Chains A and B, each alone.
Chain A
């Protein structure tokens, strides 16, 4: 199908930054113009490579935030002592070149023909590939029921907040804010634990596909929790982002 991972050599190419969108104080989306883009699948990522004047290089991976068919975008969280993310979030600007290769990934992907229901569980910036899946579901005339459980530190840290608030009724978004909640908050206010998962997750059923993405410890706790709830391990796909980013 169009957009499948390119087989054979995966080459680096220079894309141009088209637009930057400040999603939250710490998070930015970078929309790219990529000359030879073969298309991609929801859940795939790009490898990004930065090279300094003296030849010093740093390489990181970022999940593609946009759906197949949309301009390629990545969403980057600025990490405290990061090396690449501060550059991407603070220095990079429209017109700049960005060296990348992709799309990459065949495991943590969802195509609309795969069906559902879909249970998407995100910890922090783990929401990025899941948002691509949601957008793909919408763009492909989706009928698949979707439930997103999204853990963030504070309301201010919720990425794509307005977009997620405006999804139709057949996409349920459940937030949990773990560090601080606004006055009057009636939602969950703690880290995702077995009880919270039990209340939010679809009942374990042959058809449900779960995708869990975020920091390693978050992903492992959630994946274990889903298996405890009866989910078949083969139906729970995981993608770990390091605690300090990849």
Chain B
């Protein structure tokens, strides 16, 4: 029986949340912790682009072009592999379906690439059919650089490290190539409901 610190509770953990919404091993928080593996990039809007890269082909949107695309507001639960979950978070973004509609591809996988060099890999099936967005606003406000602004990927059904901050594009791939955290030991897929935190889980 390890030592327990008398009277210590830690960050407010909401134990009233509907357990059906909380994956195994997670706790619900009101905060929005900032987790980062490097310095916060600050790309000016007039330099920002989003691209879908398929071999030699590339489809690119400038910030204006990106913001002119149809967008939607969604309310989703997010789950970080460090064990915190945040319920009912509201985002505004462009569905990845909308972006992929402009490209003809059979590629089964994508590697999200970002300012600062961060990458993460996902099956195309997990970013289509209304499962993913490139989000530019959180809680009604433009996305803060600390939280991934100008835009981040949002893939709520997977652990939040897959919702890549500072995203600049998706490179379409034939193979499922491990991205940053996947290379360092995190799970290649990352389903919070099967508690796929680390490779081998």
List of A residues within 8 angstroms of B13 by Cβ = 56
Which of A45-53, A71-79, A153-161, A177-185 is the interface stretch? A45-53
B186 an interface residue at 8 Å Cβ cutoff?
no
B2 an interface residue at 8 Å Cβ cutoff?
yes
Q: How many residues of A contact B (CB 8 A)?
A: 17
Q: Are A97 and B5 in contact (CB-based, < 8 A)?
A: yes
Question: Contact size class for B?
Answer: 10 to 19
**CA A51 to CA B31, docked complex, whole Å:** 20
Chain B residue at minimal CB-CB distance from A57 = B10
A87 an interface residue at 8 Å Cβ cutoff?
yes
**CA A58 to CA B9, docked complex, whole Å:** 10
List of A residues within 8 angstroms of B11 by Cβ = 83
Contact among A51, A56, A91, A98 with B2 in the assembled complex (CB-CB below 8 Å): A51
A96 an interface residue at 8 Å Cβ cutoff?
yes
Q: Are A83 and B3 in contact (CB-based, < 8 A)?
A: no
Q: Are B3 and A97 in contact (CB-based, < 8 A)?
A: yes
Contact among B8, B27, B31 with A50 in the assembled complex (CB-CB below 8 Å): B8
B194 an interface residue at 8 Å Cβ cutoff?
no
Contact among A52, A83, A87, A92 with B4 in the assembled complex (CB-CB below 8 Å): A52
CB distance from B19 to the nearest CB of A (A): 15
A164 an interface residue at 8 Å Cβ cutoff?
no
List of B residues within 8 angstroms of A51 by Cβ = 2-5, 8
Known: A51-B2, A56-B13. A87 touches B7 (CB 8 A): yes
**CA A96 to CA B4, docked complex, whole Å:** 10
In B24-52, which residues have CB < 8 Å from any A CB? 27, 31
List of B residues within 8 angstroms of A87 by Cβ = 5, 7-8
Interface readout for A88-131 with B: 1 if CB under 8 Å, 0 if not?
00011000111100000000000000000000000000000000
List of B residues within 8 angstroms of A92 by Cβ = 7
Interface readout for B100-137 with A: 1 if CB under 8 Å, 0 if not?
00000000000000000000000000000000000000
Q: Which residues of B contact A (CB under 8 A)?
A: 2-11, 13, 27, 31
Q: Which residues of A contact B (CB under 8 A)?
A: 14, 50-53, 56-58, 81, 83, 87, 91-92, 96-99
CB<8 Å pairs between A and B, sample of 24: A14-B3, A50-B5, A50-B10, A51-B3, A52-B5, A52-B8, A52-B9, A52-B10, A56-B27, A57-B10, A58-B8, A58-B10, A83-B10, A83-B11, A87-B5, A87-B7, A91-B7, A96-B5, A97-B3, A97-B5, A97-B6, A98-B5, A99-B3, A99-B5
